[in-house]
Each structure stands twice: as C-alpha cells, then as structure tokens.
A = this chain, B = another copy of it.
C-alpha cells in the first residue's frame, strides 16, 4: 500500500504556494528548481491539483500557479486524493459469493462485514487528512519561513 512519490512533491509545492503574497504565482519551473524535481513531470502533477480545484493556473509573462482558495480551505486530503484518487485501498472482490462456501444472494445484500471494517479504517484515514488544512501547516512553520520561501521560490536573484 503505497502512495505515489509525487504525493510528497505536491504537498510541499502547495505549502510553498500558500506562502506567496496574495495574487503572486510560481511557475512549474520555479517549483521544480526550488525542490530539485523533474520539471515536466512536476508540471503534469500540478495540473492534477488544478483539476482538483486546489490550484489555479494563469498564463502570460507573469503566469504560473497559485492557490485556488484560501489556505484554510485546502486540506491535505484534497491534495493527496488529487494525486492518487479517492478509492479505498482494500479491494473486495466478493469472494464470499464463490466456491464451495458461497453464500446465497439473500445473505449478500449488505456489505460484507470485513469490507465494512476496512472501509471504516479508510474513513478514519481520510478524516485525519481532512482535518488538516494548509493554514494549519503554515502555522507550524518557523516565523521566517514565508519570507525565505518567497525569496527563493520567486526571487530574481
């Protein structure tokens, strides 16, 4: 059970974009440079965050990416599921219905109790990530982090 490596990329990129001044943007190339990541693949992943409504992409000479909403309204869950989808890691193929022990259809109208417990664990995982916003993350960074991030991410020097 593994999340894509790009999950870390996008969590960090969104955290960095959350530290920009309102309206400011950073390009995929700037973000790739900032974290030493492969720019073309990162750009593709950033588009997934745009499709998920987490980022906005603007074009033009000063174009780039910025948060599509306030940092307090973007959760880690939204970012993680933009990368990996929202499906449960447990795959129930209904083996209870097959083989010598197959249950009759009338006993399979409800979800299998094992699948339900596995779904409950996934709900707990999702709830944990839905409870953390980018604003919560920023609140835990050092006081000088935003200024440094802005300077290194979008600075011309």
Contact indicator A129/B153 (Cβ below 8 Å): no
Q: Which residues of B contact A37 (CB under 8 A)?
A: 95, 99
Q: A96-B12, A128-B124, A142-B107 are in contact. Are A101 and B149 (CB under 8 A)?
A: yes
Contact indicator A95/B36 (Cβ below 8 Å): yes
Interface string of A109-150 (1 = CB under 8 A from B): 000011101101111111111001000010011100000110
Contact indicator B90/A7 (Cβ below 8 Å): yes
**Contact among B36, B98, B100, B132 for A117, CB-based, below 8 A:** B132
Contact indicator A35/B99 (Cβ below 8 Å): yes
Instruction: Tell me the smallest distance from the CB of A88 to a CB of chain B, in Å.
Output: 9
Q: Which residues of B contact A15 (CB under 8 A)?
A: 114
Q: How many copies does the complex hold?
A: 2
Q: Which residues of B contact A95 (CB under 8 A)?
A: 8-9, 12, 35-37
Where chain A touches its partner, the secondary structure class is helix
A73 at the interface (CB under 8 A from B): no
A16 at the interface (CB under 8 A from B): yes
Q: Which residues of B contact A24 (CB under 8 A)?
A: none
Residue from the set A8, A84, A122, A129 with the largest chain B CB neighbour count within 10 Å: A8
Interface string of A23-65 (1 = CB under 8 A from B): 0000000000111110000000000000000000000000000
Q: Which residue numbers of A lie inside 8 Å of B, CB to CB?
A: 1-3, 5, 7-9, 11-12, 15-16, 33-37, 76, 80, 84, 89-93, 95-96, 98-102, 107, 113-115, 117-118, 120-129, 132, 137, 140-142, 148-149, 152-153
